[in-house]
Each structure stands twice: as structure tokens, then as C-alpha cells.
Structure 1
Amino acid sequence: MDDIHKIEQLAAASWPSYIQKNMGQWLLRANFGVTKRANSVWTSADTPEGDFQQEAEHFYKSLGLPVCFHISNASPKGLDAVLADSGYEKADECFQMTALGWDIMSHTDDNSRFTYKWEEEPSSVWIDHFIQLEEFSPERHQGYTNIFERMPSCKTFFTMYDQESLTAVGTASVIDGYGGLSNIVVAKEHRGKGAGTQVIRALTKWAISNGAKHMFLQVLKENLAAVSLYEKIGFSPISEHHYRIKR
């Protein structure tokens, strides 16, 4: 369980919200509604004293946001059932996956057909490309800017091209010897060419060069293609999480 708690703490630190407020050891997080992770109560610690539901509901309703709890294998036992009984709906079941950096490198090969661009801070163009590839609304631009600006200082925003054609983007950050991967998206017209594997390899190599030994990422359980790819190159699930939401 210690490893699970560690990864949950690192995952929270690598995806910081615009507003973060302590509620005991839990975190109330809000980011103008952009991503559930950044707009949910982080609960991977002991239950706080007092009426946590009332405090959380007041916090999110005052911001005009749905009340959302992030429930993981590191959350207090029984919390999920309490929220279900209170009318909170379950959403977005995810795996938290980990791998040794050198295992990823040994399971992948370099592909010279791709060219790269690296940015220490994401340009507006990088965020536009990410939103475009994800097919998100352009209105989410500022919300992602808030998160990316607050990420740990050791981070990179990666763009990959195939003969100057935008192929994929991805992000990595390093905290305490752990590299976190996020925002990995491959353009539809470039899928099936090994681009996803190459993004992960390139970002893992960067993370290793910046002191990471272990890598971690989050993925929706229903995204079977991504889960299969991650397992093929050395990742395995360490825990699961989902959300409980009341609108």
C-alpha cells in the first residue's frame, strides 16, 4: 500500500489545480472545470475531521462546479460506498500504471522517421496542438495553461512530427526519481505507425536523463488499445481509481 500512496501523491503533485485547499490531509482542487482530476477532492489519505461532504459541497457549489471526489485504492475504506449512498454517480474508471524506465527502453526501439521538438514551458501553439489532437473545445485552453504553469519545474512538453506533419504530443515531469507521463495524443491519421510507442520512449529517455528511475501514468480502463500498448512496453497496473460526482 505504501507504493500506491506514493504514486497517488506524485500523480496529484504532477497535475496541480489553479485552486488547492487543504481539508485535513485531503485536497480540495478546482481548475475552472477543466479535467476531473484537477476539479475533484483528492482523498488518498486519512478521512478529515468534521463533515467532509458538507465542506466539499460548499466549496464546489460556491465555484459553480459539480461536486467530485477522486477515489483510489489509497482512499479510506468505505468512502466510495458512503458517497454512492449519498447519490454520487461513478465515472471514469482508470488504472494507475508504473514501469521501470529501463524496462521501457528495453521493450522499445528508436524510430528515426520521426523528428522532435521540446519545450520547457508549453507555448500557446503547443496547447492548441494538444487541444486539437484531443478534439477538445478551444475554451479549455486557459484551464490547461493553469495546470501546466503549476506543474513541477522539471518538465517537458514534447511534439513529434513525421515529415513535418504534426504526429503526436506528450508531457513528462520528474519528481523524487519518478517520471510522470501525461497528455499523450497521436493524430488519427498517424496511428498504427508506432508513433505512440515512440512518444513514450522519447519521454522516458528524457525522464531518465533527469533522474527518473520509475515511470507512471494514468489511463482509462476502457481505453483498451492504450492499456494494451502500455503493458506491451513494460507498464503494469499498480492501482485503480474513479470519480464520484454529484451535479
Structure 2
Amino acid sequence: MFDDLMRAGWPALDEVEVGGWVARFSGGVTQRANAVVPAVAPPDVEAALRQVEALYAARGLPVIFQLGPSAQPTGLDEVLAARGYEFGSPTSVQTVTLGRLDGGAGVEIADAPSEEWLDLWWRVDGRGDRSAMDVAVKILAGGPALYASLRDAGGVAAVGRLALVGEWGGIYCMAVREDVRRRGHGAAVLSGLLRAGQERGITRAWLHVRAENTAALSLYERFGFTEASRYHYRSHRGQEPVEHVHPEP
């Protein structure tokens, strides 16, 4: 279930099925949109691996697998490790069933990101040049979503995105301007997004957070989020990553 939600919430620009695995490509912008989702065990794992590696090599990208509890076949993580794939970015998938929400006053909600929204998000969380940002904008536009902005005297102080996938809402792109952190802006944006999502019919929400990000985990815990799953990445160490690929969330 979470694999499908994550694919819809952060859609790759191109997907190629390889024996039940889904190889995702987005010009190297973000790990998630350039990783293999091993949803179904291929008939021949070795042949599928060779095909996947050839597909990524042809695009000049490192081979990255996103591995959670549903990864197939069982033991794929060990197979990749033995093949020289490196472990990285352990991530907690958190969910919540939405109830009454308070807060979020002053948060602006839009159906598309403004230039100011994009500027702050990219300054805080982006990697690469304008061409990489252009790819990121295409990823954002790959499905319906809400975009939250909170302003102060200095302009946009915090932003966030809520992907709309049926009854689910997915939290992405949470970013707070460096000079105004630890002032509750992230909580305000999160509250504003979830309230706006409720108005659009969502009843549950999910998010991804790096397992070591204690500050973010504390914030999400206050909203009732609890861990539902975990995943990590395995990347081929024999090929240098392109500049745009970076850890997430």
C-alpha cells in the first residue's frame, strides 16, 4: 500500500517495468523519483538486476533500490548487499488518522506552488542548478496537491506540500527559512495543510522522515503521527551519483 501511495504522491517522470520491479527515472532529481520499487518478484532476479543496471547506466544514473517490508523477492536486501550496493537513508513512514485540528492561522493554501514557494523550498532542500529545479517542478505537477505558505515581515517563512491521493494526504517539501526556525512555523504549515486536506476529503495522512531526524519526529508526534513502516535505499557504489541525487526526505 505505501509503495503505491509514495509513487502517486511523488511521481517519477518515467517508469519502466522490469519483471515486476518498477524502475523510476527523473533526471537524477531526488532518490525516491529515481529508485527501483521492487513490488513483485521477477522470474529471474539475476536477469532483472542486469536489465535494471543497464537502464540506469544508459541514463548516467546510479542504480538505487528503495527497500521496505514489501520488497520482493524476500532477501533482496541481502542480494544487493552482496552485489556491492551500499545501505543509506533509513526512513520512517509515519501515518495518522485525522481528527480535529487546531492552528494553522495565517497559512496560505494554493493548488500550485508560487515562485516564492519554489524559491524557499529549493533554497532549503534543493540540490543542483535551474535545470534540476525544472525537473523537480515537473515532479510536483505529477499529481494533485496543496501548497502551503506562511509569511512574515521577511517574506515566505515556511512552506509545505500535501499530495492528494484518494482519502490519503502525503506530506512533502516541509521547509522553514533558516533565520526563523524553532518558532512554530513548521507546525503551523503542517496544521494548515492537514486542515485544508480535510476540506478536500482526506481522512488519513502519511509522511516520510529520516530515522535520525529527532526534531521532525518530535513535531510529527505532536500531531499524532506514528510509525507504520520503514524503508532504506541500496545504491550501487560502482557508479558515481549524479549531482542532483540527494538523501530524502
Q: TM-score, normalised by structure 1?
A: 0.89
Q: 1:3 maps to what in 2? A: none
Query: Alpha-carbon deviation of 1:117?
Result: 3.0
Contact 2:3 2:37 (8 Å CA) reproduced: no
Work out whether 1:204 is the aligned partner of 2:198. Answer: no
Query: Alpha-carbon deviation of 1:23?
Result: 2.0
Contiguous gaps of at least 5 residues in structure 1: 1-5
> In structure 1, what is the Cα distance between the partners aligned to 2:114 and 2:103?
26
Identity of matched residues, %: 29
Indicate how the Cα distance of structure 1 residues 111 and 10 shifts in structure 2: closer, same or farther if over 3 A, else same.
closer
- Which residue type is aligned with residue 224 of structure 1? T
> In structure 1, what is the Cα distance between the partners aligned to 2:226 and 2:3?
15
- Which residue type is aligned with residue 190 of structure 1? V
- Residue pairs, 1:102-181, within 5 angstroms: 102=99, 105=101, 109-110=102-103, 112=105, 115-134=106-125, 136-139=127-130, 140-150=132-142, 152-153=143-144, 155-163=145-153, 165-181=155-171
| 1:240 pairs with one of 209, 230, 235 | 230
- Which residue type is aligned with residue 120 of structure 2? H
Query: Alpha-carbon deviation of 1:162?
Result: 2.2
Equivalenced residues, count? 233
Query: Alpha-carbon deviation of 1:40?
Result: 0.6
Query: Alpha-carbon deviation of 1:164?
Result: 5.3
Contact 1:89 1:244 (8 Å CA) reproduced: yes
Q: 1:26 maps to what in 2? A: 21
Contact 1:56 1:67 (8 Å CA) reproduced: yes
Q: TM-score, normalised by structure 2?
A: 0.88
Deviation string, structure 1 residues 209-233 (Cα, Å, up to 9, x no partner):
1111110000111111101211122
Q: 1:101 maps to what in 2? A: 98
> In structure 1, what is the Cα distance between the partners aligned to 2:127 and 2:12?
19
Deviation string, structure 1 residues 49-92 (Cα, Å, up to 9, x no partner):
23221111011000000011110111122010000000000110
> In structure 2, what is the Cα distance between the partners aligned to 1:189 and 1:41?
37
Contiguous gaps of at least 5 residues in structure 2: 240-249
| 2:9 pairs with one of 10, 14, 29 | 14
Q: 1:49 maps to what in 2? A: 43
Contact 2:107 2:189 (8 Å CA) reproduced: no
- Which residue type is aligned with residue 102 of structure 1? G
Query: Alpha-carbon deviation of 1:42?
Result: 0.8
> In structure 1, what is the Cα distance between the partners aligned to 2:79 and 2:22?
18
- Which residue type is aligned with residue 110 of structure 1? G
SS at match of 1:102: coil
Deviation string, structure 1 residues 186-228 (Cα, Å, up to 9, x no partner):
1122111111111111000111111111100001111111012
Query: Alpha-carbon deviation of 1:123?
Result: 3.5
